[in-house]
Amino acid sequence: MLNWRRSLTALAAVASFAAQASAQVLLRDAEIEEWLYEMSEPLFDAAQLPKGGVEILLIGDPTPNAFAGSSSGLKMGIHTGLITLAETPNEVEGVIAHEAGHLAGGHSARTRDAIAKASRPQMLGLLLGAALIAAGAPPEAGFGAIGLGQQAALDTYLTYSRGQESAADQAAVGYLDEVGSSTKGLLDFFDNLRNMQLIRANAPNPYFQTHPLAVQRVARLRERAEASPYYGNGNTEAEIKELRMIQAKINGFLMDPNAALRVYPLTDQSDAARYARAVAYFRSSDLDGATREIERLLTAHPENPYFHELQGQMLFEHGKPAEAIAPHRRAIALGPDSALLEVNLARALIATDRDHHINEASAVLRSALQKERNNSFAWSLLARAESHNGREEYAMLAQAEAAYHGYNPVSAHRFATLARERLKAGTPEYQQALDIIVATAEEAQNARRQIRRR
């Protein structure tokens, strides 16, 4: 883990969520991402956006906000606050439909001049979204987090005109109708925001700052939404329960552990409360309490991959990597085809420092990188595995990829150059190193010039 942390120093420090309370962080979590994509993809299809072409970014921010942009591909940012404050999944779905309307309408293209004024680290940190999973960090590392900083809140750049907002509203109703979902959630979201704004008059709501909400606009939206034949299609009990589980997980990881335990007291024996308590105990280094809660969940729901994933993470973070392997294997067997689940297993395998486990980790990481080639942490782990096996040229190549996808072009150039010197010309790996060298040549040259000027 020490080598991984060093390789990411130039990108961002992986810190506890408590320390990041006043800053935004980009989060990675297989369960939450799967939930968001399952909800979003039918809407993206309805909006005729490219299939698989929209990347959803989960932003660790308690404000109920969302944004969309088209820099370096189509991106949609969802604040954790939007999820935790929602009463129903349909509210989240409605906001996603609205943001899809912005993407389909090309509204983000009109903000490019403003976006261009953001610094490169801001853009890379948020719009490109490095695929990291925090390992060896404090227990808060159940999510992978990249600190974005106070000034890296890109949603403040994505301001829309009232005309664009109204167009996105109308588009959202159309998308929701097409997939047979209620339009009521979007109205409920706006109503809830207005109520929050009245209660907190001195604290402007970030959503209103980036999404102007005129009375006439809401009236037009309400008129069309209430006329929808699907307006009364509420969420099922199972869908509501799934939202409560997602909310509990987020609260368990992002709230102060003691506060989370007050919100989810022992008197609450629901699955959601157990989930939140398991995470809160885990973050408080109470492995016994965390184990008690997660084992009760596993007894009731042995086929839930994310309970196995959390159990594996708990064991890993408490210095038991060998014991963490089995639950991580089970999570992969039960869960979706997820790079994040595979990287979790690989880091546990590597941490045992056993040859057969490290060989297995190499194969697991290559599978993960087939799914997420830009996963900087996976490349760093692969570099460690290759080095352990004495394949230094491949270790250098993997470290070059880690640096490149971690937005450290100077290190990427250096490691790729070292790898090329040792790789056989004409091989795919040689060409891979050469591609990185070419892609980072300008930044490396500029860095050398700056050094000479000192």
| Side-chain half-sphere exposure of 59, counting CA atoms within 13 A | 30
What tokens were used for 137? 């960090």
DSSP string over 114-157: HHHTS-HHHHIIIII-------SS-GGGGSEEEEEEGGG-GGGT
364: confidence class by pLDDT, cuts 50, 70, 90: very high
295: confidence class by pLDDT, cuts 50, 70, 90: very high
- Cα–Cα distance for residue pair 118/14, rounded to 1 Å: 22
Q: What is the largest CA-CA distance in the chain?
A: 69
In Å, how far from its chain's centre is CA 310?
A: 17
> Is the pLDDT assigned to residue 100 strictly greater than 80?
yes
Instruction: Report the amino acid identity of residue 96.
Output: I
Range with lowest mean pLDDT among 7-16, 205-214, 261-270: 7-16
What percentage of residues in the chain have a pLDDT greater than 90?
66
Question: Residue with structure tokens 């490019």?
Answer: 112
pTM (2 d.p.): 0.82
CB-based burial, 165-194: b 16+ in 10 Å, e otherwise: bbbbbbbbbbbbbeeebbbbbbbbbbeebe
Per-residue pLDDT reduced to its tens digit, 135-189: 333 333 344 444 444 434 444 444 556 677 888 889 999 999 999 999 999 999 8
The whole-number pLDDT of residue 26 equals: 86
- Cα–Cα distance for residue pair 402/397, rounded to 1 Å: 9
User: Which has the higher per-residue pLDDT, 341 or 447?
Assistant: 341
Question: Residue with structure tokens 């885990």?
Answer: 282
- 2-237 is a CATH 3.30.2010.10 domain: yes
Domain edges within the chain: 2-237, 255-336, 338-454
CATH class of 255-336: mainly alpha
> Is the pLDDT assigned to residue 39 strictly greater than 50?
yes
What tokens were used for 351? 């941490």
23: confidence class by pLDDT, cuts 50, 70, 90: low
CB neighbours (10 Å) of residue 445? Answer: 12
What tokens were used for 204? 């402007």
9: confidence class by pLDDT, cuts 50, 70, 90: very low
Per-residue pLDDT reduced to its tens digit, 249-261: 999 999 999 999 9
Helix spans in 352-427 (H): 355-371, 376-388, 392-405, 409-422
Domains 2-237 and 338-454 share a fold: no
DSSP string over 46-78: HTTPPTT-EEEEEEE-SS--EEEE-TTSEEEEE
Burial bucket for residue 292 (CB in 10 Å: 0-12, 13-18, 19+)? middle
CATH node for 338-454? 1.25.40
4: confidence class by pLDDT, cuts 50, 70, 90: very low
> Is the pLDDT assigned to residue 308 strictly greater than 60?
yes
